[in-house]
């Protein structure tokens, strides 16, 4: 027994010495000790006021967040103004810098369409990526036509954001990426940078599927009440209805336990996806969302779509919840999943949502 104990003790001592040797070699502890000794006479210890330190930190953090909020506000105001001033033109022709096509040339050495020469220089502030600090680029999902009139018009008016991007960065050099995501599907990014497809030539990124996207009403941060309207008129038959179901399911993924929702299908009539929950909203917990997903398979398309009636129903539900204090008592939105609305329905918005505009309307027609 004594012999066995001695062997274990010897082994433990050898193992400990080996660990100490490795630690000293790779941690640089001996070098640090030497440096400390060299500076020992010139180093002094100062007592720090912890409360004062925390207060100073709080002031600096407040200032940092204020600058970020101001930059966002300037972008929002510029986007709203530019969009308001623009009148859509279905025949608009406009060459823009496509993030995938910039600096690409054809077999004859000429710049490809929507490409062109785009100056890119490595920048330490952006992890040494090659960027352009003067211009933004536009990314369009691979499954969308990059010269679609909706895309071209949106890209055209959103060019106004370039000046704001640059101005924001000059005011606050700590900013990194700034971007704008459109309901039409395009994504404007500053500073400009080249995007590279995968080995299949595809870029799967779609800003509308990102949780930060404003279409989902700040999904990660604020509670919300959401009414999802799904067009089930005759024009939605086949693939469009399949895509609509998947889109609704994706929207449900962005909702959390603090959110409330309902889903209404419409054609010439109003159809609650769950008839037992007519005229109300339910908490977006996992059980309720899974239950509604099961009912999506029961949707079928026929007839004509009376969107005005559906909007009236959605506004009524949201207004009732807001007045009674039920639901999230916070953000409210209507998500419209359709292949296209043919009218403006100004009378409905004027009755239920003007001038306060408490309810946001997000149309996902371009997805279909």
Range of weakest confidence among 22-26, 209-213, 250-254, 351-355: 209-213
Residue ranges covered by each domain of the chain:
5-39, 55-209, 223-365
Give the tokens for residue 165. 């991007």
pLDDT recorded at residue 47 = 83
pLDDT at 145: 86
Question: How large a percentage of the chain has pLDDT more than 90?
Answer: 51
Q: How far apart are CA 228 and CA 251, in angstroms?
A: 9
| 233 confidence band (pLDDT: 50, 70, 90) | very high
HSE (CB half, 13 Å, CA atoms) of 13?
A: 6
Give the pLDDT score at 75: 95
Buried b vs exposed e over 231-270: b needs ≥16 C-beta within 10 Å? bbbebbeeebbebbbebbeebbebbeeebbbbbbbbbeeb
- For 266-315, what is each residue's pLDDT tens digit? 999 999 999 999 999 999 999 999 999 999 989 999 999 999 999 999 99
* pTM, rounded to two decimals: 0.51
Residue 365: predicted pLDDT: 65
Residue 20, pLDDT above cutoff 60: yes
What CATH code would you report for 223-365? Answer: 3.40.50.410
Per residue in 174-218, pLDDT tens?
999 999 998 888 999 999 999 998 777 777 788 877 766 644 444
Binning pLDDT at 50, 70 and 90, where does residue 37 land? confident
pLDDT at 3: 47
* pLDDT attached to residue 1: 45
Q: What is the mean pLDDT of residues 150-177?
A: 95
The whole-number pLDDT of residue 213 equals 64
What contacts 334, CB < 8 A, 6 or more positions away?
226, 227, 228, 229, 311, 314, 315, 318, 359, 360, 361, 362
């Amino acid at each position: 027994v004594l012999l066995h104990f001695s062997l274990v003790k010897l082994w433990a001592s050898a193992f400990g010495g080996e660990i100490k040797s490795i630690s000293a070699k790779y941690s640089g502890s001996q070098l640090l000790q030497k440096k400390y000794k060299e500076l020992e006479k010139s180093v002094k210890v100062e007592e720090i006021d912890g409360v004062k330190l925390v207060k100073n930190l709080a002031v600096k953090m407040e200032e940092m967040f204020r600058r970020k909020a101001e930059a966002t506000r300037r972008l929002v105001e510029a986007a709203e103004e530019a969009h308001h001033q623009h009148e859509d033109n279905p025949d608009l022709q406009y060459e823009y810098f496509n993030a995938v096509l910039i600096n690409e040339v054809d077999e004859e050495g000429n710049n490809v369409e929507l490409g062109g020469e785009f100056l890119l220089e490595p920048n330490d502030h952006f992890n040494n990526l090659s960027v352009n600090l003067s211009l933004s680029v536009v990314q369009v999902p691979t499954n969308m036509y990059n010269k679609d009139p909706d895309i071209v018009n949106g890209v055209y008016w959103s060019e106004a954001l370039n000046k704001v991007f640059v101005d924001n960065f000059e005011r606050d050099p700590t900013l990194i990426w700034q971007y704008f995501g459109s309901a039409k599907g395009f994504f404007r990014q500053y500073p400009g940078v080249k995007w590279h497809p995968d080995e299949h030539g595809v870029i799967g990124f779609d800003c509308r599927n990102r949780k930060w996207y404003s279409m989902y009403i700040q999904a990660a941060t604020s509670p919300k009440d959401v009414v999802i309207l799904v067009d089930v008129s005759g024009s939605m038959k086949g693939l469009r209805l399949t895509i609509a179901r998947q889109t609704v399911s994706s929207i449900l993924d962005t909702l959390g336990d603090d959110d409330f929702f309902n889903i209404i299908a419409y054609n010439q009539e109003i159809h609650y996806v769950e008839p037992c929950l007519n005229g109300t909203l339910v908490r977006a917990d996992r059980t309720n969302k899974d239950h509604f997903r099961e009912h999506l398979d029961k949707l079928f398309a026929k007839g004509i779509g009376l969107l005005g009636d559906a909007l009236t129903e959605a506004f009524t539900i949201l207004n009732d919840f807001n007045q009674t204090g039920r639901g999230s008592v916070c953000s409210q939105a209507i998500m419209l999943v359709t292949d296209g609305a043919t009218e403006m329905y100004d009378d409905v918005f004027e009755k239920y949502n003007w001038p306060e505009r408490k309810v946001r309307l997000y149309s996902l027609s371009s997805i279909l």
